[in-house]
């Protein structure tokens, strides 16, 4: 339940294995094979980047807190695990997810405000009729089985910050890595505390200001040294330990004592690092055009 | 042969006809959905599940600001009795439009889907169909308001002490579950506490409940007014911005007192919000509390002086109402109440006794930080006094048979009316019996 992730609907109904998630999506596409072939779309992560940027713009105009934006992103991902995106107007779904998330995160926005802001931002795709968004809200809640309470990694991150005595810089970086994980399938695959641990770990190992992003392999190797089977402490092969390496060692030994699923953390960090790789191919224009094609052709904006 | 035939007088025929037409009108509440089915909107949302495919509505139970509750029986494989809460669409009459679901309905849907505890009302499913929300709950035959009313009309006789003990224990147990899960109920009152025919207490109506884990804004800014006036804690009356689960424990204290006396203990009159929507100081309600508990002091409640409405407290008279046999305040109220309701002095188990008073006093503690928590209240000696054990069935050993929940089929104007207050089928309208209207919401 709300305080207890282990008894939550998120854990019981919205955590999938990679295989299940891919099967579910395959099945969705199979049911609409013609549609899928007719309207190709970019990599899911690229689309997610696009949606996230659009959501960010919309949220900024209404001064919406990050937690509500994060909830909206999870709603989108859950919804599109059950509904073929080409059957929807993603802009309407985006605005609706934000509207609903704001209510659930206790920072409600009036439906008219959301619709008018959304219309200003996407005049070609949103009509000024609030009932469209109201209807879409029914759709969203129904597909999510009214399971609307979302556990985010931010809470764990805040708790760990004290426990591990992390520097503010590292926490901020971990925080933005958590923000980025919503662009991947991770919210549907791993528990939020695993994300938090991974984000902290990556924040200490990937210092974007220093040498650019390290490879997934290096980070994963350091992480796996935290697993009980490994005898070798992290960073031994890299010469004398720097402050950063000490921090990593501290985290690693802390992890080794705990019961955090290290394998999940490794997978998780690989997922996030490959997101940063894919990001280089991101092209806003392509996303926009490919979405516009099916929305316009199918009259989904009406 | 006429003796073996069922009576077929004109009266029964009329009655039959009336029943039939009433049944039709109740059913009509759900039939709107069927009209809309004929013309599905383009690309629009249509429910995969139909309320009427699974449930047959048998009558109307109650209404509130949120909408209406109906009794239904399962059909097509769905077995049992159910209570279906139908949220009223924002604009009634004419054509119903999607206008966005109220935050209160969103909270209730989300929390009920997430929560599961033997002392919480069990949600069966939620159906979103044709612009209406239907929340399907297990059916509970009784509620505390109905039980209290049964003991006050036509003659007053006490609710057995053992039953009160069981009810209170179960209520606190459910509340402990809510609070450990960071949920504030914020509207505990007799009408919202259900009791099944097996004597199990179920907390219901999470329409005002919310999570209080690190809120983005203070709780006050979300909902200006919470908790029905008679059950509203002093810190709320004094305008506290950062209230705590202690507000629910105050309400439990009020409910405990009401189970003992069969009347609300602090029956104040609500000052209405003015046109500017500023929240007025509830002087009369505060007065009722002070009459029994005495004036709160900063010695006993250090935070008192920091309450936003502290200065308003001077306008409240400090006269204490009851004083007898050298006893004052709550103690006098308690013993007078037990006597006038008719609790026997012996055996000890038939009387809530001094431990009852002690528990009540610690629930009706002015200082929210000193008020018992649900966990502490469950540990109170009241529950173990006389070497007894609390029964899981609050009706255990009772001879009283409570009447079934009255369910009326008389509901012609379902689509149009939006009566305030908690109107209950069969029972007089609460607004007539002096029950306060449902909490106001901003």
* Every domain of chain B and the residues it spans: 17-140+406-433, 142-387
pLDDT of B7 over the 50 cut: no
Any idea which residue has 């339940």 for tokens? Answer: A1
B109 touches chain A (CB under 8 A): yes
Q: According to the model, what pLDDT value does residue B299 have? A: 93
Query: For domain A5-150+283-297, which CATH number applies: 1.10.606.20, 1.10.472.10, 3.30.420.40, 1.10.10.10?
Result: 1.10.472.10
Does the structure show a pLDDT above 90 at B388? no
Q: Tell whether B113 lies on the interface with A, counting CB pairs under 8 A.
A: yes
Q: How many CA atoms lie within 13 A of B386 on its CB side?
A: 17
As given in the structure block, the two tokens for residue A161 are 């910050």
Least confident of A67-76, B86-95, B267-276, B300-309: B86-95
Record: contact B216-A106, CB cut-off 8 A: yes
Contact A3 B111 (CB under 8 A): no
Q: In whole angstroms, what is the distance from residue B320 CA to residue B329 CA? A: 7
Give residues with Cβ within 8 angstroms of A207, minimum separation 6.
Answer: A173, A244
Q: Which of A107, A133, A146 faces B217 most closely, judged by CB atoms? A: A107
Please give the CATH architecture assigned to the domain spanning B17-140+406-433: 2-Layer Sandwich (3.30)
Give the chain B residue nearest A86 (alpha carbons). B43
On chain A, the residues whose CB falls within 8 A of the CB of B112 are 146
**What does the alpha-carbon distance between residue B365 and residue B357 come to, in Å, rounded to a whole number?**
12
pLDDT of residue B29: 66
The answer, for B217 touching chain A at a CB cutoff of 8 Å, is yes
Touching check for A99 and chain B: CB below 8 Å? yes
User: Would an 8 Å CB–CB cutoff place B210 in contact with chain A?
Assistant: yes
> Taking CB atoms and an 8 Å limit, are A299 and B42 in contact across chains?
yes
Q: How many CB atoms lie within 10 A of CB B420?
A: 14
What mean pLDDT is reported for chain B?
83
ipTM, two decimals: 0.87
Smallest CA–CA distance, residue B47 to chain A, in Å, is 8
Of the pLDDT bands very low, low, confident and very high (cuts 50, 70, 90), residue B126 is very high
Partners of residue B124 in chain A, C-beta under 8 Å: none
- pLDDT, tens digit, for every residue of A51-79? 999 999 999 999 999 999 999 999 999 99
Put simply, whether A211 touches B (Cβ < 8 Å) is no
**Out of 1.10.510.10, 1.10.3720.10, 3.90.79.10, 3.30.70.100, which CATH number does the structure's domain B142-387 have?**
1.10.510.10
pLDDT of residue A72: 98
A229 near B CB under 8 A: no
Phi, psi of B308 (to 5 degrees): -55, -35
The reply to whether B187 belongs to the active site is: yes
**Do B131 and A138 count as a contact with CB atoms less than 8 A apart?**
yes
**Has domain A153-279 been given CATH number 1.10.472?**
yes
CB pairs under 8 A between A and B: 108
**Measured distance CA(A222)–CA(A231) in Å, rounded:** 12
The beta strand positions in B150-284, using DSSP E, are 183-184, 193-195, 201-203, 210-211
Confidence check: pLDDT of B17 > 70:
no
Residue B3 pLDDT grade (very low, low, confident, very high; cuts 50, 70, 90): very low
What three-state secondary structure class fits B111?
A: helix
Q: Greatest CA separation found in chain B? A: 84
Tell if the CB–CB gap between A146 and B110 is shorter than 8 Å.
yes
Cβ pair A145:B43 closer than 8 A:
no
Q: Nearest chain A Cα to B181, which residue?
A: A3
Taking the CA of residue B131 and the nearest CA in chain A, the distance in Å comes to 7
């Amino acid at each position: 339940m709300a305080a207890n992730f282990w008894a939550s609907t998120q854990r019981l109904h919205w955590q999938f294995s990679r295989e299940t998630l891919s099967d579910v999506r395959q099945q969705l596409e199979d049911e609409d094979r013609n549609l899928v072939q007719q309207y190709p779309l970019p990599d899911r992560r690229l689309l997610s980047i696009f949606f996230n940027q659009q959501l960010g713009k919309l949220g900024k105009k209404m001064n919406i807190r990050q937690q509500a934006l994060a909830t909206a992103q999870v709603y989108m991902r859950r919804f599109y695990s059950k509904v073929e995106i080409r059957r929807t107007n993603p802009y309407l779904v985006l605005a609706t997810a934000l509207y609903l998330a704001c209510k659930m995160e206790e920072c409600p926005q009036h439906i008219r405000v959301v619709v008018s802001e959304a219309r200003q931002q996407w005049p070609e795709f949103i009509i000024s009729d609030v009932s469209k968004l109201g209807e879409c809200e029914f759709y969203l809640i129904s597909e999510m089985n009214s399971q609307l309470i979302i556990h985010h990694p931010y809470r764990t991150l805040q708790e760990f910050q004290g426990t591990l005595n992390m520097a503010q810089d590292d926490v901020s970086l971990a925080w933005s890595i958590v923000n980025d994980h919503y662009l991947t399938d991770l919210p549907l695959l791993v528990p939020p505390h695993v994300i938090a641990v991974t984000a902290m770990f990556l924040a200490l190992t990937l210092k974007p200001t220093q040498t650019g992003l390290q490879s997934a392999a290096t980070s994963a190797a350091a992480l796996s040294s935290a697993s009980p089977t490994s005898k070798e402490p992290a960073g031994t092969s890299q010469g004398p330990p720097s402050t950063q390496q000490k921090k990593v060692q501290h985290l690693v030994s802390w992890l080794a004592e705990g019961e955090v699923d290290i394998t999940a953390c490794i997978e998780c960090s690989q997922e996030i690092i490959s997101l940063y790789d894919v990001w280089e191919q991101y092209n806003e224009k392509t996303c926009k055009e490919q979405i516009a094609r099916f929305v316009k052709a199918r009259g989904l904006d009406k | 042969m006429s003796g073996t035939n069922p009576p077929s007088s004109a009266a029964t025929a009329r009655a039959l006809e009336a029943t039939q037409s009433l049944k039709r009108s109740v059913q009509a509440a759900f039939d709107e959905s069927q009209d809309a089915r004929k013309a599905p909107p383009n690309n629009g949302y249509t429910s995969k599940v139909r309320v009427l495919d699974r449930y047959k509505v048998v009558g109307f139970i109650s209404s509130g600001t949120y909408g209406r509750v109906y009794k239904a029986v399962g059909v097509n494989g769905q077995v049992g009795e159910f209570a279906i809460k139908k949220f009223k669409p924002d604009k009634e009459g004419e054509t119903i439009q999607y206008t966005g679901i109220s935050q209160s309905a969103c909270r209730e849907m989300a929390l009920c889907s997430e929560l599961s505890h033997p002392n919480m009302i069990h949600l069966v499913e939620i159906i979103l169909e044709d612009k209406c929300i239907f929340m399907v709950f297990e059916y509970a035959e009784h509620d505390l308001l109905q039980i209290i009313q049964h003991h006050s009309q036509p003659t007053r006789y006490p609710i057995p002490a053992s039953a009160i003990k069981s009810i209170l224990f179960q209520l606190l147990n459910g509340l402990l579950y809510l609070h450990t899960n960071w949920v504030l109920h914020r509207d505990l009152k007799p009408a919202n506490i259900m009791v099944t025919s097996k004597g199990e207490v179920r907390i219901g109506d999470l329409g005002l409940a919310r999570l209080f884990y690190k809120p983005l804004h203070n709780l006050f800014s979300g909902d200006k007014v919470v908790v029905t006036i008679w059950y509203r804690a002093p810190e709320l009356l004094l305008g506290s911005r950062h209230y705590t689960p202690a507000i629910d424990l105050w309400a439990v204290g009020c409910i405990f007192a009401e189970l003992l006396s069969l009347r609300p203990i602090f029956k104040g009159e609500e000052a209405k919000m003015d046109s500017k929507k500023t929240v007025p100081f509830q002087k009369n309600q505060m007065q009722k509390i002070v009459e029994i508990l005495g004036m709160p002091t900063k010695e006993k409640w250090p935070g008192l002086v920091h309450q936003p409405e502290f200065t308003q407290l001077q306008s409240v008279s400090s006269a204490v109402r009851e004083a007898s046999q050298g006893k004052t305040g709550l103690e006098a109220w308690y013993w007078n109440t037990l006597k006038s309701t008719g609790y026997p002095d012996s055996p000890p188990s038939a009387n809530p006794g001094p431990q009852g008073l002690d528990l009540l006093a610690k629930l009706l503690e002015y200082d929210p930080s000193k008020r018992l928590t649900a966990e502490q209240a469950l540990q109170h000696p009241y529950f173990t006094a006389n070497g007894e054990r609390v029964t899981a069935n609050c009706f255990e050993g009772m001879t009283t048979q409570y009447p079934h929940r009255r369910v009326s089929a008389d509901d012609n104007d379902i689509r149009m009316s939006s009566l305030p207050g908690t109107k209950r089928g069969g029972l007089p309208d609460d607004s007539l019996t002096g029950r306060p209207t449902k909490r106001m919401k901003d």
